[in-house]
Amino acid sequence: MTDCAVWWSEPITATSDALALLDPTEKERYGAYRRHEDQRRFLTGRVLAKTVAAHRLGSTPENIHFDASCPDCDKPHGPVRVPGAALALSISHAGDRIGVAATSGAPVGLDVEDASRNADDSLISYALSEAEQRTLPTDAAGRARAFFTFWTRKEALMKATGRGLRISLKALTLSSADAPARLLVSGETTLSPDTTRLRDLDAGPGYRAAVAVLTSENVDVTERWWRPGASLDGQ
Ligand SMILES: CC(C)(COP(=O)(O)OP(=O)(O)OC[C@H]1O[C@@H](n2cnc3c(N)ncnc32)[C@H](O)[C@@H]1OP(=O)(O)O)[C@@H](O)C(=O)NCCC(=O)NCCS
């Protein structure tokens, strides 16, 4: 059994304690966001990821330093890693939801989306295979809900591989949105149904979220909420 812990948070306030947890590279990224809400989402993701990493590694958030180099261009905007640690993390943010998923090393990908957005036809035909499109309900609200279920599952898969949007979304066929999340067919060499586990998550009303773990074992997923300043024990 592989354990996967998911922690949710609302955007935290940029207190001096929170900002002190950012290293110089992270401070630069924080400062480069023009919108205050983007800054808060980024800050929350990094503070929560450091808190979760410290909790699992028996350390303190101040002592966690991420390598976030991008596999494509080496800039520090790639997935976060703690070099040498038996830990895999994935961060996602949308609207007022920030999430971090953690395993003891099995590659993990988390995605949360604001599902109040529209799912227009061009987005649907960009992301869904023909077989998946045929499973969508015909009414607009049901269609959008099902689309964002597919989208978060696919983005979680892409993030678990570390290849992000370089994965072809249409090369993956998933179970229909009203069925338990499963990868059925993969045209991507980095993803195989036998070694891929997917779960839908509950990030609250108006949001869709999913997590993917690359393992052949069963996965035990727990979801909890975090408040800044609180310990992760007993919450
Ligand atoms: C990863 C990706 C799917 C994120 O999508 P998104 O919906 O905009 O954002 P989310 O909030 O869900 O995720 C953001 C987190 O994804 C993580 N991430 C970045 N690149 C990643 C990758 N290749 N694989 C997995 N996770 C990645 C980061 O931890 C980031 O958190 P941060 O803001 O604290 O750095 C998208 O950015 C992507 O495909 N990136 C790779 C390709 C690319 O465009 N590279 C940039 C040019 S070299």
Q: Please choose from 153, 165, 208 the residue to mutate so as to test ligand 1's pocket, defined by most ligand atoms within 8 A of CB.
A: 165
Atom of ligand 1 nearest to the CA of 77: 35
Per-residue pLDDT 10s for the chain (235 aa) are 999 999 999 999 999 999 999 999 999 999 999 999 999 999 999 999 999 999 999 999 999 999 999 988 889 999 999 999 999 999 999 999 999 999 999 999 999 999 888 888 999 999 999 989 999 999 988 999 999 999 999 999 999 998 877 888 999 999 999 999 999 999 988 899 999 999 999 999 999 999 999 999 999 999 999 988 777 875 5
Residue 172: phi, psi to the nearest 5? -110, 130
Let me know if residue 232 belongs to a domain: no
Let me know if residue 234 belongs to a domain: no
* Binding site membership of 41 for ligand 1 (Cβ less than 6 Å): no
The separation between CA 178 and the C-alpha centre of its own chain, rounded to angstroms, equals 21
Supply the CATH number for residue 112's domain. 3.90.470.20
| pTM of the entire predicted model | 0.96
Q: Please choose from 12, 40, 69, 91 the residue to mutate so as to test ligand 1's pocket, defined by most ligand atoms within 8 A of CB.
A: 91
Let me know if residue 231 belongs to a domain: no
Let me know if residue 172 belongs to a domain: yes
Centroid of ligand 1 to alpha carbon of 100 (angstroms): 13
Let me know if residue 37 belongs to a domain: yes
* Total number of domains in the chain: 1
Let me know if residue 134 belongs to a domain: yes
State the residue range of the domain holding 131.
2-225
Let me know if residue 235 belongs to a domain: no
CB atoms within 10 A of CB 83: 7
* Binding site membership of 86 for ligand 1 (Cβ less than 6 Å): no
